[in-house]
């Protein structure tokens, strides 16, 4: 496995791969790798792609400096996981290389409009513009045929799809299902910060999604169930909603068909996200 941090080397390597006829896949991550990340790598390997996995904790997408400081950084573990999962090239750019003007962003940034102001974006202003900017830069450096993202960050996936569509970027965005622990908790690098008791409370997120999925009735009934389930476990509710799976606009009670339930909450100061498909307006 090759390891690169220099941006010129990164671009040259990806160019060489493309000229040799390889299909280059990019798996962007912030490290502290777990089975959710590995699933993205596997999906790429299954399609025969050469996999470049990037690890970059992008400070510009954090609105809370405490969250940024506490974000786990595990370079040796990441190296071992990348190697074991068949990553072809691990890319770890430095902060200075990515954002020479940090803490200011680059003069040019990507702005994602109203989609970026919903849900996570409402609670973390500027978050999705920063995500879109870094992802666009990662795409520009790599020139991947495909890029793999998890449905775990459902709104992020929708934002990336929108960027690719709006800017006519030549990359196929592949979304991969949420990977969970046996108890249902969606894997996340932030789960490391939960105590045993916090982890039990955090299970309310996946339980809420299962309850809302298994219930019948309109979106408002499902929304109420989501909220109630989080509150029962003393999870500080960030938001709950039942939305159109593409536009992410809230479903009204006349809606029927496949929707997406989104939940976000805070346990022990750790922000947790989860989501799942469900059918509204009868079953």
29 has which bridge partners? 55
Cβ closest to ligand AMP, residue 17 vs residue 158:
158
124 binds ligand AMP (CB under 6 A): no
Give the total of residues touching ligand AMP (CB under 6 A): 17
Cβ closest to ligand AMP, residue 44 vs residue 186:
186
Q: Tell the smallest beta-carbon distance from residue 180 to ligand AMP (Å).
A: 7
271 binds ligand AMP (CB under 6 A): no
Among 121, 150, 238, 265, which residue interacts with ligand AMP (rule: CB under 6 A)?
Answer: 150
Strands 257-267 vs 146-150: parallel, antiparallel or unpaired: unpaired
Query: CA nearest 146: which of 61, 23, 274?
Result: 23
CB 52 within 8 A of CB 64: no
CB 93 within 8 A of CB 56: yes
The CA distance from 113 to 60, in Å, is 17
Query: CA nearest 167: which of 125, 117, 124, 109?
Result: 109
Q: Tell the smallest beta-carbon distance from residue 123 to ligand AMP (Å).
A: 17
> Which residue's beta carbon is nearest to the bound ligand AMP?
150
Cβ partners under 8 Å of residue 157, min gap 6: 149, 150, 151, 173, 175
Q: Which of 34, 37, 77, 127 is catalytic?
A: 37
Largest distance between two CA atoms of the chain: 56
Instruction: Please indicate whether residue 37 is annotated as part of the active site.
Output: yes
CB 141 within 8 A of CB 15: no
Q: Which residue has the tokens 């909450």?
A: 265
51 has which bridge partners? 25
Query: CA nearest 276: which of 227, 229, 208, 220?
Result: 208
129 binds ligand AMP (CB under 6 A): no
Interface map 2-41 toward ligand AMP (x if CB under 6 A): ---------------------------xx-----xx-xx-
Q: How many CB atoms lie within 10 A of CB 3?
A: 12
Q: Tell the smallest beta-carbon distance from residue 73 to ligand AMP (Å).
A: 11
Q: Tell the smallest beta-carbon distance from residue 89 to ligand AMP (Å).
A: 16
Residues 37-96 that bind ligand AMP (CB under 6 A): 37, 39-40
Stretch of 66-74, 134-142, 178-186, 209-217 lying at the interface with ligand AMP (CB under 6 A): 178-186
186 binds ligand AMP (CB under 6 A): yes
Stretch of 46-54, 69-77, 162-170, 183-191 lying at the interface with ligand AMP (CB under 6 A): 183-191
Count of positions (residues) in the chain: 283
Q: Tell the smallest beta-carbon distance from residue 50 to ligand AMP (Å).
A: 18
Cβ partners under 8 Å of residue 128, min gap 6: 112, 115, 116, 120, 121, 155, 156, 159
Among 127, 146, 152, 227, which residue interacts with ligand AMP (rule: CB under 6 A)?
Answer: 152
Catalytic residues: 37
The residue ranges that bind ligand AMP (CB under 6 A) are 29-30, 36-37, 39-40, 149-150, 152-153, 176, 178-179, 186-189
């Amino acid at each position: 496995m090759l390891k690169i941090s220099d941006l010129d080397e990164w671009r040259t390597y990806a160019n060489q791969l493309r000229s040799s006829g390889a299909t280059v896949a990019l798996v962007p991550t912030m490290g502290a790798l777990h089975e959710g990340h590995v699933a993205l790598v596997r999906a790429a390997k299954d399609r025969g792609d050469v996999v470049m996995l990037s690890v970059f904790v992008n400070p510009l997408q954090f609105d809370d400096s405490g969250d940024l400081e506490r974000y786990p950084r595990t370079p040796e573990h990441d190296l071992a996981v990348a190697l074991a999962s068949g990553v072809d090239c691990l890319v770890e750019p430095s902060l200075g290389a990515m954002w020479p003007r940090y803490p200011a962003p680059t003069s040019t940034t990507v702005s994602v409009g109203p989609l970026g102001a919903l849900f996570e974006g409402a609670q973390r202003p500027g978050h999705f513009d920063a995500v879109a900017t870094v992802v666009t830069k990662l795409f520009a450096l790599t020139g991947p045929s495909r890029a793999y993202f998890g449905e775990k960050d459902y709104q992020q996936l929708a934002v990336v799809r929108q960027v690719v569509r709006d800017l006519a970027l030549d990359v196929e965005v592949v979304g991969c299902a949420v990977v969970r622990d046996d108890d249902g908790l969606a894997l996340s690098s932030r789960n490391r910060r939960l105590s045993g008791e916090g982890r039990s409370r955090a299970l309310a997120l996946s339980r809420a999604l299962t309850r809302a999925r298994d219930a019948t009735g309109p979106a408002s009934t499902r929304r109420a169930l989501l909220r109630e389930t989080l509150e029962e476990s003393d999870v500080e509710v960030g938001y709950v909603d039942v939305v159109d799976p593409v536009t992410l606009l809230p479903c009204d009670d006349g809606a029927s068909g496949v929707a997406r339930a989104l939940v976000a909450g805070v346990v022990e100061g750790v922000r947790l996200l989860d989501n799942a498909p469900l059918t509204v307006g009868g079953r």
